[in-house]
Amino acid sequence: MRNSSRDELAVAETTPLRRSEQSEVTVTATNLASNNNNNNNHVNSSDNATAATLTPNYNSNGNNNGEQQQQQQQQQQQKHKKEMDTNKRIMWRVGLDVLILLCVGFPILLFYLFGDSYKRGFFCDDESLMHPFKESTVRSWMLYIIGLFIPALVILGVELNQSRLSKANGNAPRTYMFMGYEIPDWLIECYKKMGVFAFGAAASHLTTDIAKYSIGRLRPHFMAVCQPQMPGNTDCSNPINAHKYITDFECLGVGSTPRMLKEMRLSFPSGHSSFAFYTMVYLALYLQARMKWRGSQLLRHFLQFLFIMIAWYTAMSRVSDYKHHWSDVLAGSAIGVACALIVANYVSDLFPSQQRTKPYLPRSSQDLSQMHSSAVITH
Rounded average pLDDT over 362-367: 54
Per-residue model confidence (pLDDT) at position 373: 59
Cβ pair 231, 132 in contact under 8 A: no
Q: Is residue 170 part of a domain?
A: yes
Contact indicator for 156, 197 with CB cutoff of 8 Å: no
Q: Quick one: DSSP state of residue 269?
A: S
Q: Is 269 among the domain residues?
A: yes
256 within domain boundaries:
no
Of 103-112, 232-241, 325-334, 359-368, minimum mean pLDDT range: 359-368
Kindly report the three-state secondary structure assignment for every residue of 17-38: CCCCHHHHHHHHHHHHHHHHHH
**123 found inside a domain:** no
Contacts of 292 (CB under 8 A, 6+ apart): 162, 165
Q: What pLDDT score does 71 carry?
A: 74
pLDDT at 45 (0 to 100):
47
Q: Given this model, what pLDDT does residue 368 score?
A: 54
Residue predicted with more confidence, 376 or 240: 240
Residue 367 has pLDDT above 50, yes or no: yes
For residue 158, count other CB atoms closer than 10 A to its CB: 21
In percent, the amount of the chain with pLDDT more than 70 equals: 71
In a domain, 330, yes or no: yes
Beta bridge partners of 234: 230
SS3 181: strand
Least confident of 38-52, 246-260, 318-332, 360-374: 38-52
Reply yes or no on whether 221 is catalytic.
no
What's the domain range around 316? Answer: 80-117+138-218+265-347
Whole-angstrom Cα distance, residue 200 to residue 197?
5
**Least confident among 36-50, 127-141, 321-335:** 36-50
DSSP codes, 89-110: HHHHHHHHHHHHHHHHHHHHHH
Please answer whether residues 223 and 130 qualify as being in contact, where contact means their C-beta atoms are separated by less than 8 angstroms: yes
> pLDDT tier at 355 (50, 70, 90 boundaries)?
very low
Tell me if 113 is assigned to some domain.
yes
Q: Which of 272, 301, 372, 379 is catalytic?
A: 272
- Percentage of the residues of the chain whose pLDDT score is greater than 90: 56
Choose between 174 and 147: higher pLDDT. 147
Mean pLDDT, range 19-27, rounded to an integer? 42
Which of the two residues, 29 and 206, has the higher pLDDT score? 206
Q: Smallest Cα–Cα separation from 190: which of 159, 148, 154, 164?
A: 159
Residue 325 lies in a domain: yes
Dump strand ranges (E) for the chain: 122-123, 176-178, 181-183, 228-229, 245-246, 250-251
Burial category of 61 from C-beta neighbours within 10 Å (exposed 0-12, middle 13-18, buried 19 and up): exposed
Chain length of the chain: 379
Residue 88: its pLDDT value, please?
Answer: 80
Instruction: Report which of residues 65 and 291 the model is more confident about.
Output: 291
Provide mean pLDDT across the span 33-56: 47
* Active-site residue, selected from the candidate residues 42, 324, 372, 379: 324
Instruction: Judge whether 161 and 172 are in contact, CB under 8 Å.
Output: no
Q: What is the DSSP string of 194-254?
A: HHHHHHHHHHHHHHHHHHHHHH-PPPTTHHHHH-EEBTTTB-TTSGGGTT-EE-S-EE--T
Quote the pLDDT of residue 80: 63
CB 286 within 8 Å of CB 350: yes
pLDDT-derived band of residue 294, with 50, 70 and 90 as boundaries?
A: confident
205 part of the active site: no
Contact between residue 333 and residue 319 where contact means Cβ atoms under 8 Å apart: no
Q: Does the pTM of the predicted model rise above 0.75?
A: no
Round to whole Å and give the CA distance between 77 and 149: 44
Q: Is residue 226 part of a domain?
A: no
pLDDT band at 60, cuts 50/70/90? Answer: low
- Please give the backbone phi and psi of residue 177, each rounded to the nearest 5 degrees, phi first: -120, 135
Lowest mean pLDDT, pick from 133-137, 145-149, 160-164: 160-164
- Residue 7, pLDDT above cutoff 70: no
The alpha carbon dihedral of 131, 137, 142, 148 has a sign of negative
Long-range contact set of residues 243-247: C-beta below 8 Å, sequence gap at least 24: 243/123, 243/125, 244/123, 244/124, 245/121, 245/122, 245/123, 246/121, 246/122, 246/123, 246/124, 247/119, 247/121
Question: Number of structural domains, the chain?
Answer: 1
Predicted local distance difference test score (pLDDT) of residue 172: 64
